[in-house]
Amino acid sequence: MAAEAQRTLAVISDREGFGDAFWRLHFIRALKRGFPDHRLAWLSTVPTYYVSTLAPIVAGLVDEAQSHLPIERPTGPALARLRALPRYDLVIDIRTAWKRVALAWWGLRYRRFVTHCAGIPSGQFLYSLFGRPRHSLHRLLRLAAIAAGRNLDGHGTLPVSAAARARAAAMLPDGASYVALGPGATGPIKCWPLANFEALGRRLVAEGHVPVILIGPDEYDMVAPLRAALPTAIFPGVDSPEGRADLDLLLAIGERLALAVVHDTGPAHMLAALGVPLVSLFGPTDPTRFMPVDVPVYLLDTVEFGGRRSDSGGLGAIPPDAVWDGVATLLARRRDAQVRHPRLRFVAPVLEAA
């Protein structure tokens, strides 16, 4: 089919963080499997990683990605821009702001339009009939199922080059058990105390594991205290600065991890996309909506330990022993897949799990 005659499926998106970009890969893969003869256009009203860092990851999945698309306001110019866009065979609008979705429904040219915003004649009746899933990914997969008329599989793997795997093997040689610690987040409210990570790292070393410290570009103030507490730890983004800008290498490093202890952050969802088991620490965000998917997750929510979602002190209510229990449980599960624990969760990206 000639490119100009090929049908196009357009997804309109907003609120795209680094973690969102990874868990939405399940949704994108599901759409490509459900509509294999369509081009997929990703239209984002905000910056999207699909035109930058994750462009190599979505090659072959997303045929066209646009960032900062000005189709929301002011209303007049936005409507004109919507009407200037090509005609789409199918539009799936995953935004939640009713007025903005309604503007796209009115202004775009299309054969079908699907959204979960009530009051817009787009198939959302079926969405409401079957119930609105709690988890954010399951909501998207519900929209994909409505559009395709059947459940769609979103499972898949991430591409990692042989060269990156060789470099990662040199940094994290075979024969050791590597446990990643991600002490950073977008703000203190999402963080477990650094002293607790230091103590956890020392316990890992005592048990024969090698801590791998995941440090983001805005978290270098953590390096000195962590190095002092954990002199045998590996700091991939610090000791090998090129790794910070090399997603291929970061993914290859992730493949060599036994598990990771992380907050609700972008790197957590990146590791989940690689299949790395996670001890996942939640505070201000709701794990029933944002818990990593498709991997074993030992969930520790500050609310269960007397903390509050709005607690500016971070995740200090989560006790160190509870986190260590999570580490021990996941390590045992690697040895024996039959291990069960009430905090061990598995959110699979399938519609039946919604």
- Same domain for 102 and 191? no
pLDDT digit string, tens, across residues 82-108 = 999 999 999 999 998 999 999 999 999
> What is the C-alpha end-to-end distance of the chain, expressed in Å?
36
Q: Is there a single domain that holds both residue 35 and residue 182? A: no
Residue 120 maps to a domain: yes
**Confidence at residue 188, expressed as pLDDT on a 0 to 100 scale:** 87
Q: What is residue 294's DSSP assignment?
A: S
| Residue spans of the chain under pLDDT 50 | 1-4, 352-354
- Say yes or no: 100 and 237 in one domain: no
Q: Which helix (H) or strand (E) holds 137?
A: helix 136-148
**140 and 186 inside one domain:** no
Is residue 158 included in any domain, yes or no? no
Q: In what order do the strands lie in the sheet with 259-263?
A: 210-213, 178-181, 259-263, 278-282, 296-301, 344-346
Rounded Cα distance, 174 and 116, in Å: 47
Query: What φ, ψ does residue 295 adopt, rounded to 5°?
Result: -140, 160
Token pair of 44, please? 């984002």
- For 304-326, the pLDDT digits (tens) are 999 999 887 789 999 999 999 99
Question: Domain ends where: 148, 182, 204?
Answer: 148
Predicted local distance difference test score (pLDDT) of residue 241: 58
- Residue 136: per-residue pLDDT: 93
pTM above 0.85, yes or no: yes
- Same domain for 169 and 120? no
Distance CA 325, CA 279 (A): 9
β-strands 210-213, 178-181 pairing:
parallel
Closest C-alpha among 193, 239, 233 to residue 213:
233
* Boundary (domain end) residue, out of 92, 119, 148: 148
On whether both 193 and 248 belong to a single domain, the answer is: yes
Instruction: Say yes or no: 63 and 117 in one domain.
Output: yes
List 181's β-bridge partners, or say none.
213, 261
Please check whether residue 139 lies inside any domain of the structure.
yes
Q: What is the pLDDT, as a whole number, of residue 131?
A: 62
Q: How far apart are the C-alpha atoms of 115 and 119, rounded to whole Å?
A: 10
Asked if residue 283 is part of any domain, the answer here is: yes
Strands 296-301 and 344-346: antiparallel
User: How far apart are the C-alpha atoms of 176 and 156, rounded to whole Å?
Assistant: 27
204 within a domain of the structure (yes/no): yes
Q: 238 and 286, same structural domain?
A: yes
Q: Give me the domain span that covers residue 272.
A: 163-349
Do residues 106 and 143 both lie within one domain? yes
Task: Give a yes or no: residue 2 inside a domain.
Answer: no
**275-295 as b/e, with b when 16 or more CB fall inside 10 Å?**
ebbbbbbbbbbebeebbbbbb
What pLDDT is stored for residue 5 in this prediction?
62
Beta partners for 282? 301
Assign residue 257 a region (left: φ > 0; alpha: ψ between -120 and 50; beta: otherwise): beta
Cα 321 to its chain centre, rounded Å, is 27
Decide which of 97, 121, 148 is a domain's last residue.
148
Q: What CATH number does residue 43 fall under?
A: 3.40.50.2000
> Distance between CA atoms of 267 and 10, rounded to whole angstroms?
27
Cis peptide before 86 (omega within 30 of 0): no
Q: Do residues 283 and 339 share a domain?
A: yes
- My answer on whether 212 and 336 are in the same domain is yes
> What total of structural domains would you count in the chain?
2
Residue 97 lies in a domain: yes
Are 141 and 172 part of one and the same domain?
Answer: no
Amino acid 245: pLDDT = 61
User: What is the DSSP-derived secondary structure letter of residue 259?
Assistant: E
User: In angstroms, rounded to a whole number, what is the distance separating the alpha carbons of residues 174 and 183?
Assistant: 25
Between CA 64 and CA 62 the distance in angstroms is 6
Please tell me the chain's helix, strand, coil percentages from 3-state DSSP, rounded to the nearest 5.
45, 15, 40
Is residue 339 one of the residues assigned to a domain?
A: yes
